[in-house]
Amino acid sequence: MAAALGDIVDLRAKQKHYPKLHGSLRELLHIEARRVAPEYSGFHDDGVEYVRLLPSAGESGTKLDAARVPILIVHAVDDPVGSAQPVADLVSQVRNPNVAAIILPGGGHCGFAPYARDYFYSLILNFFDRGHGAAASLRRRYAASP
């Protein structure tokens, strides 16, 4: 997964005529931050914090545990950019009813939307449905576990 991400970083750098980054996502974020918001020195650090889902060293829990809005992660088993297992492992640790993941058997990195449009969008719409989706589960009363 790291090698695939490095290739994506290098492709972006080439497309934008940046210097060679040798797969460094951190350096790409620095360059993008300076380009997009040169007057805001905290842009890079805020951006890194925003996209980090896993806890920093010495911390416990994830940002997903504190999510106040429904979050749905859709991932395919055959995604060439990243394995589905880390997604499943991450979401299995989250104890927030607002967060869910759907692991599809196929679809590559983003192929499920164009090739199975009705199915893909029905999964998403049902998750975000106010009456039956994740947000509705916050209003339901559950029996206590023995």
Q: What is the pLDDT of residues 99-143, one digit of tens each?
A: 888 888 887 777 777 777 788 788 888 888 878 777 676 555 545
- Under DSSP, the state recorded for 133 is S
Task: Return the C-alpha torsion angle 14, 18, 21, 27, nearest 10.
Answer: -130
Domain of 104 in residue numbering reads as 65-146
pTM summary value: 0.56
- Under DSSP, the state recorded for 115 is H
Residue 59 domain flag: no
Helix (H) or strand (E) holding 100: strand 99-104
Q: What is the pLDDT of residues 32-56, one digit of tens each?
A: 888 888 888 887 777 777 666 666 6
Residue 113 domain flag: yes
Residues 79 and 14 in one domain: no
Residues 83 and 15 in one domain: no
